[in-house]
Amino acid sequence: MAQQKKKWRAPVQKNDQLEGEVVDLTHEGLGVVKVDQYPLFVEGALTGETIQYKVIKTGKKFGFGRLEKVIEASPNRVDIVDKVYAQTGTMSLQHLTYDAQLAFKKEQVEKVLTKIAKLPDVKVNDVIGMDNPYGYRNKAQVPVRKIDGRLTTGFFRKNSHDLIPLEDFVIQDPKIDEAIVKVRDIMRRYHVKPYDEIDHKGWLRHIIVRRGYYTQQLMLVLVTTTSDFHRQDEIIEAIKKELPELVSIIQNINSEKTNVILGDESTVLFGTDAYQDQLLGFTFTISHQSFYQVNPLQTEKLYQTAVEYAGLTGEETVIDAYSGIGTMTLALAKEAKHVYGMEIVEPAVKNAKENAELNGVTNVSFETGPAEDIIVAWAKEGRHVDTIVVDPPRKGLASEFIEAVLTMKPQKMIYVSCNPSTLARDLKLLNEGGYDVKRVQPIDMFPQTTHVETVCLLTRK
C-alpha cells in the first residue's frame, strides 16, 4: 500500500503570539519575520527590529502578522503622524525616516534589476528626494459617504470600502484639503444626498480637486450618479464665494455600479473644462480627464533628467510615447528637430495641441491612439527615429511595442517608469534585443509611500 503523503502545515498557526527579528522589508513596506524559513509579513515593522506580533493569517508560502509591540526599535523609526494614514494606506512609510525611505526605494530598484532584469552590474543612482516630503499632491479624489447621518468626506480603509473621515491628508496640498472641507460643508448645508454603494442610491459620489502649483488655479469635479442637480445655481454660487481661486467646476456623471471614479458624461457648470499650471517655464492647460503628474516639484526634476539623458542636439527625430497633455513632449522639443507625441486619451491630445500652440512650439505633432498600435505601424513603414521616450502606465510596455522598438533601432531610448517590476521585465527584453542600460535614476515622486519613479537611459549596442 502506497504511503499517504503527509499534509503540509505552516510552522505557525493563526493567533500565535510570537517574538522575532525583522530581516527585510517587502516592496510594499511590510516587515519580514521568518519562522523556520517561513516568511511572515508584518505591517509597521522595520528591518533590524525585534518585535512581538500576532499571526493573523497563514498560507502555503507565507503568512501575515499584526505588530503588537516593538521590543527593540530601529534607529530609522520615527513617530507616526497618525495611525489613520496607516489604516487608509495613504502614508505606508510614515514610520520610517525620510533618508531611510530614499534608501529603501533605491534598494527596490536594485533588487528588480538584479532578480528580474538580470542586470546586477548596472549602477543605480541615489534617489532624488524632496526638501519637504509633505503637502506635495496637486490632485485629490475623495469619496463621499454618509457617516452618523451626515455627508462625510475621507478615505477608504485599506482593502475595503469603509470610509474613514479625514480632513487633513498631510501629503496633499493643504489648499486642496481646505477646499474639500469647504465644499463638503456647503453640500451638508444644502442637504445633498451622499452616495450609498450598497443600495446604489444617493447623488454625490466623489469630490475631486486639482490645483496649479504655480498658478494656484483650482478645478473642482463633482462626480454624481445622475445629471440632475437640485438647487444647482445656489450651490455653485456658494462654492465660488468660498473658493475665489476656482476657475472650473465640472459635473461628471457616473451612474454605474463600479469602482471606477469618473463616468463618460460631463457638464461644465462654471468656467471651462480646464485649469492651468506651469512646468519648466511652459504653461499647460489641463482638462479634468487628463493625466498630469501629481508632484510638480519632482516632475520638473524627472523631466530635466529625461531631457539630459536624451542628450539632444537639435538634429533628432523623437517619439514621446504616452505623451498625455504634452508636458514632456514640449520639454524635449526645445532640444530636438521634431517630436511626435502618442496618446490614447482624446481630451489629453486636444490639450497637448493647445499647449503646443499656447507656448509657441511648432516642431511637435500629436497622434491619437494606443502607442503600441501607432509605433507598430510606423515600424512596418520603416520610419526613422533617433530617440524614443516612453512613460507607460504601471503595466509597462506591451510586447509588440518592444518588438517595434527593436525593429526601428533608435540610437537611444529613455524609459520613465512608475513600477520597478515591469520596468525590469522590459529592460531585460530590450537588453536581449540589443540595448545597454547606461544610467538609472530613481526619483521620489511619492514621499511617505512605497512608490518610486525611475528614469533609465538605454543606448544601442
Active site residues: 418
Question: For residue 146, what is its C-alpha cell?
Answer: 454618509
Contact 280, 304 (CB under 8 A): yes
Contact 277, 215 (CB under 8 A): yes
Question: For residue 266, what is its C-alpha cell?
Answer: 460631463
- Residue environment code for 286-317, b if the CB has 16+ CB neighbours within 10 A, otherwise e: bbbbbbbbbbbebbbbbbebbbebbebeeebb
Distance CA 107, CA 356 (A): 38
- Provide the pairing of β-strand 317-321 with 163-165: unpaired
**Nearest-CA neighbor of 165 among 239, 242, 88?**
88
**Nearest-CA neighbor of 317 among 303, 302, 332, 307?**
332
3-state secondary structure of 93: coil
Contact 176, 209 (CB under 8 A): yes
**Nearest-CA neighbor of 72 among 94, 47, 95, 92?**
47
Distance CA 102, CA 60 (A): 32
CA distances to 157, 305, 378 from 333, in Å = 43, 15, 20
Contact 409, 91 (CB under 8 A): no
Distance CA 109, CA 267 (A): 42
Amino acid in the structure at residue 454: T
DSSP notation for 133-156: -SS-BSEEEEEEEEETTEEEEEEE
